[in-house]
Structure 1
């Protein structure tokens, strides 16, 4: 019992001590009046400059702590320099003037803030007129290190004309301007041209040959970039080789494609489109929302069914989407085999409620979509690992061509070879639900 009483009295004493401390606590007093005497003439600067300032800092009563220089564009603080000030005297500092897009010439505010060790503070505001450098040239630097001079064609506007490949990966370099200017690089980040990086911008023209590459140092607008239109709407660049659009499509809808110079040589997926003599596409599957990706590495459209803002999955009743992952199949050919890479999963075309189709041509490498000698792929409920058709949830009605092997993988029937150059249509019927898939394979 004595032990517990001792603990109780200790807790009471601690609480009383804390309460007394809280009652006596107060913010430290602010004392002293530091004085800033600016010695340098800060009359103007350029965007991209490093501005040097010199000031005398004094306090008659207390030791000094810091001298801060802060630059504001409007109400936004865009740059800051902090100098430790241990004693009265002259201090020299440098603050960077950021170079940003769409900031017009005008006055910024430079704040000099002097503080002593007792939190006494003095603030001096200086209006600082800023101008954007009007360079006489820029330099285009390609990924191979070759440099091209971009001549000034107007205020903030620059251009180089040369014999370029269809795509040019490069960044743009601006020379130093002003007394303490800095070299400014313009590259690609977060889906746009921006300053302060040498990440390559992928300029792209409809054809290789002689054309202009342009850049505006005020707006950061550059050209050329392929403007791809699919069904009258612009596709969005994902990376150097892929552009996408997500839209609702209807069965039988006719779609025009613009901006692809070699479109006549593109592979057209027969599960999703037919193409007429004018290059117009007719959409074949069920109406719905789809993601269409224009892939310039293999020159074809990747088509994937969507639900809302995400890719579709297979529902219990057989609606949604079915995906193919595995070996010996690929689009537009086996040169782009799916394999067990879920990022490359093929979305089967929904041809009717609960029925999904993939059409392939037997052949090796670039000559076919499916290997004529052996197959080893399976059907999944989503683009990725998770739900799948195992050997108990799928049967084959075409066992003379394809059988269901262990784990639900598809395999050619014993001693069966596909005929090179022949077309085969794989149709998966899940109208009985996703645990009762029925596969039919037809040779055409």
Structure 2
């Protein structure tokens, strides 16, 4: 009982205070006189304003707010603390937004005193999209002038590499204007960013870079197609597509410049004389990434909208994480970075393989990688569920020089430089009875 009385005694003062605040009388008579003629501005401007403020009943003032409305939506606000009566000045920024045409906005001024009495005044402002005489394309080494070719449309023509990075900025039109920058964010061009945009052409040389300050449409970006599906740009060096593929399906790749210089993964593709490729693994959904840093296609098995994992019956996907292996070469070693895990090709149901070259894509003198059930930490193969009779590679057990499941080269054995080796994992007997074979392929 005493605990209840103590608890209620804490609550009563709170209720009393709230009640007083709710019943507090709004008093005072704020007065606001605008000293600025604001009738027109550009998107991207900082509109200056000045106002004389006072309270006719001498109630201390609190704030003067300048609020910009597009229709019923407030898009910008400037708040000034008004400690005493007098003249106050400030600026309010007009947002530069995509696809917004010329129109009329409302600039509202709200003066409030400390007793919550307010005075409001509104002004209609005609907003115009700037028609810049030129833009500037800024790269790491140089600035290029983009000439105006039409309303809101600009271009620069110059000798560029096949890929060129830079952002675009505007000049300042007048004393109220600001520099607006356009860069790359979240898969597209946007304002108030100077992150480089990676423009790309099918070949180096003279070509146009264009930009529209209304729609933010920009060019050129190479269009890549894999098996008839357009690939989406992930970042500067990667384009991806997620597609259903059939075993032995003939795949066409379009839009990749210098395709003859790309490394073609023999676990997933066989090159054909007509420039097409035959897809080698079992049918299913795959994520294919065109990687321009190392010039090859990364292929990863999927299950629905997620990357595939190894199932109890041995189907799904098998992944490699560890050192001394990489595609297309050891310069892109997987290491213990799960983001770089290699998806093995399922060349037959529940049978997986990876093909490597001694001294090129696999270390010829030592290896230390293992097989995982997913692209990441979690399920993995150890010596209790992975066996091998290979005379080249052994499975670590924690006492033989390798952690459980990690692969190593048999003592006294090295791989031959330039020789092709194929690691195959057979899981047809079930997930807990995987068998590894290592074969030296003869040319």
- Does the alignment reach a TM-score above 0.5? yes
Residue 129 of structure 1 and its aligned partner are, at CA, apart by 0.2
Q: Secondary structure at the match of 2:408?
A: strand
Give a deviation string over 1:136-187, Cα, whole Å, max 9, x none: 111111023x111111111111111111111111111101113311111111
> Is 1:98 paired with 2:95?
yes
Aligned partner of 2:368 in structure 1 is 376
For structure 1, the residue ranges without an aligned partner over 5 or more in a row are: none
Residue equivalent to 2:394:
403
Q: How does 1:380-395 map to 2 (within 5 A)?
A: 380-395=372-387
Task: Look up the match of 1:205.
Answer: 201
> How big is the shift at 1:8?
7.0
Equivalent pair of 2:268/2:299 in contact (CA under 8 Å): yes
* Equivalent position SS for 2:22: coil
Report the counterpart of residue 400 of structure 2 in structure 1: none
Aligned residue in 1 for 2:138: 141
What does the per-residue CA deviation read over 1:35-59, in whole Å, with 9 as the maximum and x for residues that have no partner?
Answer: 3222221110111111111222232
Q: How far has the Cα of 1:414 moved from its partner?
A: 3.8
Shift of the 351–86 alpha-carbon distance from structure 1 to 2, 3 Å rule, reads: same
**Among residues 59, 63, 71, which one is paired with 1:74 in the alignment?**
71
- Equivalent in 216, 225, 232 of residue 228 of structure 2: 232
1:363-421: per-residue Cα shift (whole Å, max 9, x none)? x2xxx322333332211111122221111211113x22322233222223343333333
Is the 8 Å Cα contact of residues 49 and 177 (structure 1) preserved in structure 2?
Answer: no
Structure-1-length-normalised TM-score: 0.92
RMSD between superposed Cα atoms in Å: 2.1
Query: In the aligned structure 2, how far is the partner of 1:157 from the partner of 1:23?
Result: 60
Mapped partners of 1:189, 1:120: distance in 2: 43
Range that drifts further, 73-82 or 44-53:
73-82
Residues 39, 123 of structure 2: 8 Å contact kept:
no
C-alpha distance 134-258 of structure 1, shift in aligned 2 (>3 A) = same
Q: Is residue 263 of structure 2 the alignment partner of residue 267 of structure 1?
A: yes
Q: Secondary structure at the match of 1:51?
A: strand
Q: Give the aligned partner of residue 427 of structure 2.
A: 430
For 1:8 and 1:229, the matched residues in 2 are separated by 72
SS in 2 for 1:72: strand
Using the TM superposition, name which of 74-83 and 294-303 deviates more.
Answer: 74-83
- Which residue in 1 is equivalent to 2:347? 351
Q: 1:181 aligns with which of 177, 180, 191?
A: 177
TM-score (norm 2): 0.92
Assess if the C-alpha contact under 8 Å between 2:248 and 2:279 holds in 1: yes
Cα distance change, pair 47–381 in 1 and its aligned pair in 2 (3 A): same
- Given the alignment of the two structures, is residue 305 of structure 1 paired with residue 305 of structure 2, yes or no? no
Verify the 8 A CA contact 2:237 2:291 in the aligned structure 1.
Answer: yes
Equivalent residues of 1:68, 1:114 under 8 A apart: yes
Q: 1:16 to 1:70 in 2, by over 3 A?
A: closer
Q: 1:402 to 1:133 in 2, by over 3 A?
A: same
- Cα deviation, residue 74, structure 1: 2.1
Structure 1 residue 271 displacement after superposition: 1.1
Kept after mapping to 1: 8 A contact 2:382/2:396: no
Q: How does 1:10-25 map to 2 (within 5 A)?
A: none
Match of 1:295 among 286, 291, 296: 291
Unaligned ranges ≥5, structure 2? 398-403
Tell me which residue corresponds to 1:43.
Answer: 39
Residue 328 of structure 1: how far off its partner (Å): 2.3
